[in-house]
Amino acid sequence: EDQVTQSPEALRLQEGESSSLNCSYTVSGLRGLFWYRQDPGKGPEFLFTLYSAGEEKEKERLKATLTKKESFLHITAPKPEDSATYLCAVQANSGYALNFGKGTSLLVTP
C-alpha cells in the first residue's frame, strides 16, 4: 500500500532562517511526486512535480528534490508570506489518484 509521511508536523522559523521539509514515501512504481501549498480555508495550490530520483525544481525561495525514498522541500530565506501548510502527494503508475501526506504547517515570523 502506498504511504506518504511528512515531517515535521509543524515548523516555526524566523524570517530568513532556511530549513527543509521532508516527505518519505513508499509506492509501487512512482509516476510522480507532487508538492502543494495550502493556505487556511483554501484549496491546495500546485507547486512542483518530480518524476525521477535526482530531479530538482525551483520556484522563488522553494526548491524540491527527490530520491528513491523521500523528497525535500528546501525553503531559503523564508518570508512571513511563505507561512502555509505544505502537502506532499504521490501517484503510482497504476492509478489516477494522489495519495497525500498529512502536511507540514509552516509559520514564518518577522
Partner 1 sequence: DVKVTQSSRYLVKRTGEKVFLECVQDMDHENMFWYRQDPGLGLRLIYFSYDVKMKEKGDIPEGYSVSREKKERFSLILESASTNQTSMYLCASSLDRGLKPGSYEQYFGPGTRLTVT
> Which residues make up the interface to partner 1 (CB under 8 A)?
31-32, 34, 36, 41-46, 49, 87, 89, 91, 96-98, 100-103
Q: What is the closest distance, in whole angstroms, from the C-beta atom of residue 52 to partner 1 in the complex? A: 13
Q: Which residue, 16 or 95, is less far from partner 1 as judged by CB?
A: 95
Q: Which residue, 31 or 76, is less far from partner 1 as judged by CB?
A: 31
Residue tagged 515570523 (cell numbers): 109
What are the E-state strand segments in 1-110? 3-7, 10-14, 19-26, 30-38, 45-50, 56-59, 62-66, 70-75, 84-92, 99-100, 104-109
Q: Which residue, 18 or 94, is less far from partner 1 as judged by CB?
A: 94
SS3 of residue 81 by DSSP: helix
Beta bridge partners of 90: 33, 99
Q: What is the closest distance, in whole angstroms, from the C-beta atom of residue 53 to partner 1 in the complex? A: 17
Q: What is the closest distance, in whole angstroms, from the C-beta atom of residue 98 to partner 1 in the complex? A: 6
